[in-house]
A and B are shown apart, each in its own frame.
Chain A
Amino acid sequence: MLSKIQIAQRIAQELQNGWYVNLGIGIPTLVANYIPEGMEVEFQSENGILGMGSFPTEENIDADLVNAGKQTITALPGASYFDSATSFAMIRGQHVQLTVLGAMEVSENGDIANWKIPGKMVKGMGGAMDLVASAENIIVAMMHTNKRGESKILTKCSLPLTGVGCVKKIVTNLAVLEVVKGGFKLLERAPDVSVEDIQKATEGNLIIDGVIPEMRF
């Protein structure tokens, strides 16, 4: 089974040279720490920065420089700042190549729910609805099951949707899945996790084709 850090490490393998990438709050943020050697990617944070760097030192903290998770950050050489309309022009206009975000539920047809549990919790969609509606590549980073052990990979989402038919790939603590016609195609399994384990934790239709390789790090 993968730790949250390993999920981020596995997603980092999906990055391609020259990509502009938007990382959501939580596990996705960790992806920035594992860019493959020699690769150039630039991180966009939708509150208004391209070229986001690591966290600052105590001396360099700037209250005016934060990411979409409101964390203090730094700007790399070549960075730029812009307003929110310009930021979402980059997103809606498909100038950002990859979006990585968390989810509460994902369904077989690529629907995603991650902003609201009616009557219980409302965080708001923030930029997630704009991101999922427009991104060419969306990878969901999440745990395979919720805290009660119920599958988050479903035939149909039960929670209010964030977007429809948009998720392409999912990396969980158990597996890498691709959303294809008819269900979730199992691409890879986490170390020491069997296909049966993944099947048990997946409520939606799992498509198993041939021998499923173990993830490599």
Chain B
Amino acid sequence: MNKVVNNVEEACKGIEDGMTIMLGGFGLCGIPENSISELVKKDVKNLTCISNNAGVDDFGLGLLLQKHQIKKMISSYVGENDEFERQMLSGELEVDLIPQGSLAERCRAGGAGIPAFFTPAGYGTEVAEGKEVREFNGKPHILESALTADFAIVKAWKGDTAGNLIYKATARNFNPMMAMAGKITIAEVEELVPAGELDPNEIHTPGIFVQRIFQGETYEKRIEQRTVTN
């Protein structure tokens, strides 16, 4: 099955104001750079974005925050994004902060047809407010619900025309779970090859989870914390 679209404009077709969008990546590692630029260009507004982080002030999802295109963020870490923290503290931006493991599992559950699950993470904290608590093996757990999205946008290293994806190193992170949880999943890849060229043994995300795939024009791959030894 051919999932290839011609370019990023075609890939992001149908993304509209008010939609919920999942975006893969951890910090700036493994984020769908080309699609984010396209969302900035399209100027879609009132988005609910599900992403572990919100980029930095001038890159990644930070670009959408700057233009106030995001109504609500569902994330685990604000970190060093000043604009994110400012908009959150001033109340301009709705933010749902959830534990990182729960975020990953909620996306996985959304894609896997599991409506909710119990986890110990967050018990006894603000995260547990309003959630059902149940004891298993003598330990309290809280009920977390699955997450899905109108569009999931992921970034992979290599992909083929059938939508199969291979990620590189820690750029994998949330991408595989989000690919599963999108009603429409867009995959942008560094290298797009004909079906049959990737070894089926090596596929991380099977093509069934991907509806549209394209090769990104350029990748800046900005590094957040450049640390080296001599």
Contacts and interface: CB of A to CB of B under 8 A. Distances in A.
Judge: A and B partners, yes or no: yes
Interface of A: 45-49, 54-58, 61-67, 69-73, 75, 81-85, 87-88, 91-92, 111, 116, 119-130, 133-134, 160-165
Given A122-B89, A123-B77, A56 B228 contact: yes
A113 to B, nearest CB: 9
Given A57-B230, A164-B125, A83 B85 contact: no
A82 B175 CA distance: 11
B228 A61 contact: yes
B199 interface: no
B124 A87 contact: no
26 contacts: A46-B100, A55-B227, A57-B228, A63-B222, A63-B223, A64-B168, A64-B171, A65-B169, A70-B26, A70-B224, A75-B169, A82-B172, A83-B104, A84-B173, A92-B120, A122-B85, A124-B97, A125-B76, A125-B122, A127-B99, A127-B100, A129-B99, A129-B100, A133-B122, A134-B120, A161-B125
A119 B121 CA distance: 24
A130 B229 contact: no
A83 B169 CA distance: 10
Interface residues of B, number: 58
Contacts of B85: 121-122
Contacts, number: 179
Contacts of A92: 101, 119-121
B28 interface: yes
Interface of B: 26-30, 52, 75-79, 85, 88-89, 95, 97-105, 107-108, 119-127, 157, 167-177, 204, 221-230
Contacts of A61: 223, 226, 228
A72 to B, nearest CB: 5
